[in-house]
Amino acid sequence: MKVGVLALQGAFDRHAQALSLAGAAPLEVRGSQYLEEIDALVIPGGESTTMMKLAESLNVRKRLMERIEDGLPVLGTCAGMILLSKEIFDGRDDQHPFGSIDIGVRRNGYGRQLNSFEEDLEINDFDTPFRGVFIRAPLVERIGNNVEVLASVEGHPVFCREGKIMVTSFHPELVDDDRVHRLFLETAFASN
């Protein structure tokens, strides 16, 4: 399983480590040519506006959106959730998400850096709680009919799935627990 990690900006190296532990062969995606070599992709946290601009300027955006439309499984965490969403309620005029999962988000919806927090999450199909690390996390304010909510905090979805697209408001790569990455791989490579 060759799983790309979008390595334009953000905490991509921690995702590569988690994917290795979960049994995948990670590949840092730094340009559109790498998108042809992967079977799935992780879009890490970071600064969503910067990531969108880099994806555009490095000619990654168009090919990535084509691959997603063709069924490429993707896990987006924090900024990755913002990029994959259908709507950004407080986005800039030049910030256009990929529209890959039918959710609407508010950037930094949980507050600034000082409002970062950790929370034990009850995630569907996990026997024990998963420690979620929320850093300037996006807040999901709208979910589409076909979106499955896998975990919530105070009634707000923080882990969603639609088909083979999964998104989290939190950073699963920052804890020593690879269950989110394993679930993504299971979802990505499950037979249709």
* Catalytic position from the list 15, 78, 160, 181: 78
Token reading at 184:
């993504």
**Cα 2 to the chain's mean position, in Å?**
17
Residue 171 is among the residues annotated as catalytic for this protein: yes
Q: Are the C-beta atoms of 173 and 11 separated by less than 8 Å? A: yes
* Catalytic position from the list 15, 160, 171, 181: 171
Token reading at 101:
């999962």
* Catalytic position from the list 15, 162, 173, 181: 173
**Cα 66 to the chain's mean position, in Å?**
17
Residue 15 is among the residues annotated as catalytic for this protein: no
Amino acid at 100: S
Beta bridge partners of 4: 27, 41
Q: Which parts of the chain are beta strand (E)?
A: 2-6, 25-29, 40-43, 74-77, 85-88, 101-106, 117-121, 130-134, 139-143, 148-153, 156-162, 165-168
- For 59, other C-beta atoms within 10 Å of its C-beta total 12
Residue 173 is among the residues annotated as catalytic for this protein: yes
Known catalytic residues? 78, 171, 173
